[in-house]
Structure 1
Amino acid sequence: MKVFMLLLILAVIALSYCTPEPEECYYDSRGLCMGECEPGTYSYTSNCDQMMIPEPTCDTPTPQEEEAPCDYSACYCKAPTVRDTSSGKCVPLEQCPKKQV
């Protein structure tokens, strides 16, 4: 019986370390999670500070910081990827569609 109790305690301790990582969320102005960001993106929130808006895209890979509305939140592509605005997907800059001249 002592061995069973010891194993039970060890199992509970082990399970307490197995908490899943929280999903990235984008938030509304009240701070409530409005939805999960898709894989390869992260939640970007302005908190009323200067922010990078719009996010880096194939057309503008290094946007300038601009004033943004307070508590703006969106899912931005994780570096080193940028948003391909034609497909809406995150891609490496070198995989962006070529511009028509």
Structure 2
Amino acid sequence: MKTVFVCLLFVGLALAKPTGDEDNSRGCRYIMGRCVEQCPVGTHAYTTGCGHLTPEATCDNPNPKEDTRGHICDYSSCYCDAPTVRDEKTKQCVSLDKCTK
């Protein structure tokens, strides 16, 4: 009987709808291990883990290169989804041809 119960429990957990951050495929911006902002539509979570930072693509720098001067740990942000870039004047994700002049 215990075996049947355990099997049913695992099946139930496998079929359960995720809650919280798990059902947001875009990810989350974290500060000190806590989710402080779900990434909005049109963006995705970016983190360095503990490595080199690659800046977000912007109107002024649409093809940023990884900064290898040092490691950054626990950095996270919401970066614009390709092919859009961040318009630094409006703070919105836009296609490169829609950047503020």
TM-score, with normalisation over the residues of structure 2?
0.69
From 81, 92, 96, the equivalent of 1:93 is 96
Q: Whole-Å Cα distance in 2 between the matches of residues 50 and 69 of structure 1?
A: 6
Aligned length: 82
What's the counterpart of residue 7 of structure 1?
none
Over the matched positions of the two proteins, sequence identity in percent amounts to 44
What's the counterpart of residue 58 of structure 1?
59
Report deviation, 1:49. 1.5
From 40, 44, 48, the equivalent of 1:46 is 48
Q: Structure 1's 97 and 68: CA in aligned 2 closer, same or farther, altered over 3 A?
A: farther
Report deviation, 1:95. 1.1
Q: Secondary structure at the match of 1:49?
A: strand
What's the counterpart of residue 83 of structure 1?
86
Q: Secondary structure at the match of 1:69?
A: strand
Structure number having the greater strand percentage: 2
* Structure 1, unpaired ranges of 5+: 1-12
- Give me the CA root mean square deviation: 2.0
Based on CA coordinates, which of the two structures has the bigger radius of gyration?
1
